[in-house]
Amino acid sequence: MRNYKFTLGYIVLIVLINWGFTVVPLVPILGEMFPPMSLAVGLVFVARDFAQREIGHKVIVAMLIAAGLSYFMANPFVAAASLVAFLISEGADWAIYTWTKKPFAQRILISSAVSTPLDSAVFLAMIGHFSVLAVVLMTVAKMIGALIVWKMVRE
């Protein structure tokens, strides 16, 4: 199991965040309703990068396992929105991470910068909370997590 610690962490993180979207209420920010769980979602994108280092392209299987668990442990509607958003954004993230030949820390930052706005827009649209402000706030929240991890792995 130690050989798959990042992959298992990735799966658990997705399930916990999807569950959190189900139980943590939205809060008003600048006239928009904002899901506070968005603050934790940025870690999923970085966790995916570490999981991909562990299991390569099989990271897609880990994502599907997490989506299946989320369907039963969280609201199925949120789980479905999460799966579609993850498939789109993780596809972009995976492609950038895989095909760029940049150092690991740079790949984390570049792939997160592309995939986090995609994920935010698709997820919010599917759960009926899409607005430009909400997408920007979610993307910024996700990128903060990505930047923290980027700085940690650079050092």
Identify the three-state secondary structure at position 28.
strand
What pLDDT is stored for residue 155 in this prediction? Answer: 66
| Pure H helices in 1-155 | 5-23, 38-55, 59-73, 76-99, 104-126, 132-154
| pLDDT attached to residue 7 | 96
- What single-letter amino acid sits at 90? E
Query: Residues 49, 108: contact at Cβ < 8 Å?
Result: yes
CA distance 61 to 87: 11
Token pair belonging to 55: 């299991």
- pLDDT of res. 81: 92
pTM: 0.81
Work out the widest C-alpha separation in the chain, in whole angstroms.
46
Structure tokens, 126: 């599917």
Q: What is the pLDDT of residue 89?
A: 84
Successive 10-residue mean pLDDT values, the chain, 155 residues: 89 92 88 79 78 88 92 88 87 80 84 89 89 86 82 79
